[in-house]
Structure 1
Amino acid sequence: MERLRQLLSDVPHFLRTLVWPVARSVRNNVGLASLSIVLGFALWIFVTDTENPTRSGVLPIELAVEPVNVPGDLALSGSPVNVRVRVEVADDVWNTLSTADFKATLDLDGLQAGTYDLPVRVEPLTGRGGLRVTQVIPDTVAVELKSLFSKSVSASVSLEGAPPPGYEASIPELDAETVLVTGTQDRVTLVTQAVASLDLSGRTESLTQAVRLEPRDSRGFLVEGVSLEPSVMNVSVKIEQTQFSRALVISPTVVGTPAAGYDIVSLFADPPVITVFGPQSFVGETATIRTQPLDITGATEDVIRTVSLDLPTGVSVSGGTSVTVTVQIEPGQGTRTLGVTAVIVGLDPDLSVSGPLPLVEVVLLGELPDLQGIRPNDITATINLTGLKEGTHTVSVSVS
């Protein structure tokens, strides 16, 4: 029956668009025209209702009831109220309906402080499928109106996230230090602060932006049923770069000396370069980063050690803070001069050498550790006089 009532309500539109033009052409045959119209309209009703029947039932959604005409000196106490509705609508529209297709209101016009049972009005906001609300569940709700109460609370910003390493954010600054909380006394009393959230994740530049404040209790939970004035403020946060980076050459620090006769031939670190992070005053003026001292006193072979970097306060590095230092040590090259008494060989038995045997000066060239271990007795200087006759001769000295 309801579908029939809906279809009948569409009759004026049907008459304007179809019947009147036809009527002009058949005004000389009123009986035939009337019969055609009635039969056509009946057929239209039958076909339409068969192809797309009406569906009636309670929608599986809840509508939030909005108080309207609230007296300026009163506030609604308690939690928001939700209702459900029974509707009639074309079957192909049923599953497309949502809360956006309805408006539920509670009229508080002219009321004083007190408790009331008030009817809930639900209006469809669309005409799709002949939508009609047939029942509101529940159709009345109990409400309590209380006098408004106001107080000031502090406003603050809760920072979420942080700038990337090497950047620091200042304390956020709001337009005002306090906001006015208004509502019923039992709700306003719960509010101890107004808090806005601001996410600084990945931020590298200062910012000023609008944030929405929320009323919170002493434990940080949201308090509903109150209003804030202002509810939106601008917050400013300065973000500055405090850590700078640069690749520096690692300069190993060596103390002590190798054993006598040994020299340092090379000195290097692995890795040879490392990225440091620190204040601009350090990073901008420093070319190398030194290691903790490595003692090579008395070393006669390569020294390989893991040592820590000598990092100033406030300076960090990427990766580990230790490096491998290799000190390559080899015997030094040099000379040594020794005086060796010559030995005469091959002298004719009938002859003799006049005067003392000469002292031969021998200069040795080689690795210093080996040279330092050689004594004069380890060297032989030989003068070969084989075949020489009496007289003065100049001969070579053989050293071995």
Structure 2
Amino acid sequence: MARWLTNNVSLMILAVLLAVFVWGASSLQQDPIVENTLVAPVVIVSPPAAGQTVSASTLPTNVIARIRAPQSTFEALGANGVQVPVDLSLLGVGQHVVKLEPTIRAAPAMLLSYRPLTASITIEQITEVRVPIRVVVEGTPAIGYQAQLPSVEPTQAIVTGAQQLVSRVASVDAVINVEGARSSVQQNVLLIARDQDNNLVPNVGITPSIAAVRVPMEQLSNFKDLAVRVRPTGQPAEGYAITSISASPQVVTVFGPRDAIQQLPGFIDTLEVSVAGATQDVEQRVGLNLPPNVSPIADNMTVLVRVRIEPQQGALTVSRRPVVIGITETLSVKVSPLAVDIVLAGPQPTLNKLTRDSVRVEVDATGLGVGVHQLTPKVIVPEGVAVQSVIPTTVQIEVTEATTGDARPPDGPTAQTYASQRTS
């Protein structure tokens, strides 16, 4: 046995190697080794120590990593399986070069290469300084107005950050826009830090971050704002009325000698706008009725006037005989009362044009048998007309068997007989 083992040891080793090779080949076929390029985000795991801040940095957002691993490893990595952790807590004040080495959160895997390799970071001690708030007024007030000295509350702000950045701050500005203003402008404004060249200084904190700014406005003595008053003449057509009047612009600015301006009332009339006989809205551009030596700030200024004309709402009471529908030829009916009163509402011009045929009353007796029935009449009116009430609210229908002569309604003030006729 020992001799057989000695003589065949090489064959046994070869068999083991062959088995390992076959197993490895099978594994590689099922889970092949591949190389992929991944984007690894840079993550600050610890910020600088208390009282310190980053004043300058070339730290990238991501690092590009080349990795070799089985396919199953890449599938297990997921979205954040490769990251670049950076710890700033132990660096201290000064300039530093930080190594950007990705970590792979799955195995087996081999990091082949990555870029960039390093980043530079400057850490400085946090400092603060108190800076007066400067109000910056932008824009031009309306013609005839002048901006006065602005006020701001609070008057100072505290700027904090890296010493290198804080030392660049020359002013803390509150910017407010007064374009076209006719009265005092008051706003809560976000504060911004600027250097001596009026450039923004980034990455500094400002406390408070918002200030209340007010810019008073004063109208010059030879200018005045006047409300526009429209002067319509005439009356709309019968049954129509003016429901609203508007002007655009609603306020105009005029100028002239100081004495003439001070004597003006708080309004200015337009030239006359005729609405005589109008049945629809009137829209017209008209001039202003200005006194001598007084002019609008715009040459040849006109005002767009809109006068809304609508039909007047009215009411009308009419009387109509109910018409019975749905009765078979073998039956006849008596209706009581002979007529109902109907109160209508709607535009007066429409009510004035109503005819007897345009308002009808129907009573549906479909399916009714012999006997006395109380039914609600249906009133049919033109579009735009509303039925306010029907008096009485129900009518009595007496259905009887039809006999010779029932087609003629009997005499009497409270009943009428109808014999239905079938139409072919």
TM-score in terms of structure 2 length: 0.37
Which protein has the bigger strand share? 2
